[in-house]
Structure 1
Amino acid sequence: MTKSRKHENKSTLILTHGDSDGVCSGAIAKSAYPEADVYFTSPVGVLDDLNIADGYRNVIICDIAIDERHCVGLFKRLDGIASVANLTYIDHHPLPERCVTASWLHHDQSSCASELTYKVLEGRLSRDMRRVAIYGAIGDYYDTSPSVKEWLRDWDKRSLFFQAGTLIQALIYSGRNYEFKRKLIAPLSHDKIPTEITNVLRYAKEGAVLEEKLRIHVKHDVRALNNLAYVVDPNGYMSKSAIYAASYGQKDVGISAEFRHKRNAYDMSLRSRNSGSVDLNRLLRRIAPEFGGSGGGHASAAGARIPKESFDAFLREFDKAIGVQKRRAAEL
């Protein structure tokens, strides 16, 4: 959360994720409720950040995965908010088995959060805001959903992919610069194209230069096990590093790991090039806690945090589990 303070007699609060799908979801919600205050949060921070919801009559949460360890406490807090305010929780990440139903929850794993946010709030939106939903879908690799494929027919696909790619690259380059991300929300909510928003083109260009350096670094430093390839401390974009690790390591799964000194743990981004037989989310939710960590996400894109002392053992066990899952999938 970038700010923390109490609000009284406020109308609408939007809490959303800071990646491209989250920013686009937040912009769509802001378009539906122009007076809304927008803040960024995360799956591990949302429970604490919900304190800011006090005093709001309408609360919208977009693209925040529900963490398995905290789902019971989170649902209890959200039920409390729903008892005094209008609550709308929009997400597309796999749900923990213990917390799967609520009247305020709008959930669909087959679409990105941007598409789902547009559909939930469609009655308050201009049809042109579908374009922003498409940006989010491209950014989260959900641009082949039936609705997005239909919406794409109303636009020049090449132009939309250029705008989306520019926005995505700028957001990745900006990292935790939430002030920049917050300044994107208002123009996007008015359907302003990303290349016309201040600093987007500049950040995207600088990000592209860094990505090329990162690609070369990963090419030379990638390490491979039987079923996964990984790179440690790539000094660059985590998700892109994982993609290049899989590519240059010639494995189905790529992992990028960065050591966080304050936590004495490795934060990881994982990408699978074979989502048909490797479900990263399922494997991480089972294996990461065995090593004192946590993890989850989507079948082909996920994240994890593992203590330093368990990192090597985790990689070996995870590599073994990928092999088992692939063999079982081949037998079906």
Structure 2
Amino acid sequence: MVKRNETLILTHGDSDGVCSGAIAKSAYPNSDIYFTSPVGVFDDLRMTDSYKNIIICDIAVDEKSCMRLYERLEELVEHSDLMYIDHHPLPRKCWDVDWLHHDTSVCASELTYKALEGRLHKDMRRVAIYGAIGDYYDNTPSIKEWTLDWDKRSLFFQAGTLIQALIFAGRDYDFKRKLLLPLSRDTIPSEIPDILNFARLGSKLEENLRLRIRKQVKVLDSLAYVVDPKGYMSKSAIYAAASGMRGVGLAAEYRHRKHAYDMSLRSRDTVDLNMILREVAPKYGGTGGGHASAAGARIPRESFEDFIRELDKTISREKHKTRLIENGEK
């Protein structure tokens, strides 16, 4: 039987999640790392019973299962030290507990560094900056202050290399785990084996994806979307919005085993995607949420077309409300 370490770290597989996990790993070097997601974290908590410390980073709380997750986490607190570190908007049934470290105004990497600062070398702030750049949270007061200790151009090169390599790696969690370990020791990304080649290949695929979406994009009143773009979902949503000249872009990919579409959405408008998806997705048997300008959803295959139409109507309605408010009308 393999002996486990005292600490378990569950984190997201994107750049902010990997950087958060690396910071937590730096604070607890003798820890086990696993990647999870908002829809998978409850099942992954089955492995936690033998751990003294449990750290969960950058995992949004799903609206449908939030109370079930809360009850499970409260059970874990009985025998483990728990830290749940996240920056996604919480469901309406929010938690008021000591083990939750939550702030929507910063990225998970910054939040993780601050939560564990007493166990960390000051230089690990650089890894938090990478995570902030990857999640578009590099304008916060702390990140701007920390950035002054390095050449900003070098930071963006290292962060960009990391981001492109992680997106190219996709669901190759073994690669991400191998990458996270040197990152936890503050090794610059460009010195980590294979990462530069992955980043180069990822950038080439992204450019091909951008050009392909121009031909595939479908346009509604307020929403532009692409189905099965065969490429990076978040970037596909960005390029769908750009190619379709709409304020919101959506990329959807069919998951055969789930009989559902997984989606990534990006907004260039003032609409709150998190609130819209939490309202619309459950009506069609799905789940959704995230940030105001960057979110995700999972919708059953049979409801996909109806969901897209309802989503477009809701976005148009919210944009209209915003315009009325801006013009001083009721």
TM norm structure 1 = 0.96
Residue identity (%): 65
Q: CA RMSD in A?
A: 1.2
CA–CA separation in structure 1 for the residues paired with 2:2 and 2:206? 40
The residue number in structure 2 matching 1:273 is 268
The residue number in structure 1 matching 2:125 is 130
Q: Does 1:283 align with 2:276?
A: yes
Q: What pairs up with 1:74-89 in 2 under 5 angstroms?
A: 74-89=69-84
CA contact (8 A) 2:62 2:287 kept: no
The residue number in structure 1 matching 2:88 is 93
Match of 2:254 among 259, 277, 283: 259
Deviation at 1:258, TM superposition (A): 1.2
Deviation at 1:244, TM superposition (A): 0.3
Q: Does 1:308 align with 2:313?
A: no
CA–CA separation in structure 1 for the residues paired with 2:230 and 2:33? 30
CA–CA separation in structure 2 for the residues paired with 1:164 and 1:28? 15
CA–CA separation in structure 2 for the residues paired with 1:225 and 1:252? 11
CA–CA separation in structure 1 for the residues paired with 2:199 and 2:190? 9
Match of 1:320 among 313, 322, 325: 313
CA–CA separation in structure 1 for the residues paired with 2:44 and 2:143? 31
The residue number in structure 1 matching 2:324 is 331
Q: Deviations over 1:174-201 (max 9, x none)?
A: 0000000000111001100000001110
Q: How many positions carry a matched residue from both structures? A: 325
CA contact (8 A) 1:72 1:99 kept: no
Local SS of the residue matching 1:68: coil
Q: What pairs up with 1:159-238 in 2 under 5 angstroms?
A: 159-238=154-233
Q: Does 1:67 align with 2:62?
A: yes
CA–CA separation in structure 2 for the residues paired with 1:109 and 1:6? 38
Match of 2:148 among 153, 168, 183: 153
Q: Deviations over 1:121-148 (max 9, x none)?
A: 0011111100000000011111111111
Amino acid at match of 2:36: T
CA–CA separation in structure 2 for the residues paired with 1:236 and 1:167? 18
CA–CA separation in structure 2 for the residues paired with 1:186 and 1:310? 41
The residue number in structure 2 matching 1:139 is 134
CA–CA separation in structure 2 for the residues paired with 1:305 and 1:7? 36
Structure 1 stretch 146-155 or stretch 256-265: which is displaced more? Answer: 256-265
Deviation at 1:7, TM superposition (A): 6.1
Local SS of the residue matching 1:39: strand
The residue number in structure 1 matching 2:292 is 299
CA contact (8 A) 1:15 1:62 kept: yes
CA–CA separation in structure 2 for the residues paired with 1:252 and 1:132? 32
Unaligned runs of 5+ in 2: 326-330
Structure 1 residues 35 and 247, CA, compared in 2 at 3 Å: closer, same or farther?
A: same
Amino acid at match of 1:198: P
CA–CA separation in structure 1 for the residues paired with 2:66 and 2:323? 33
Unaligned runs of 5+ in 1: none
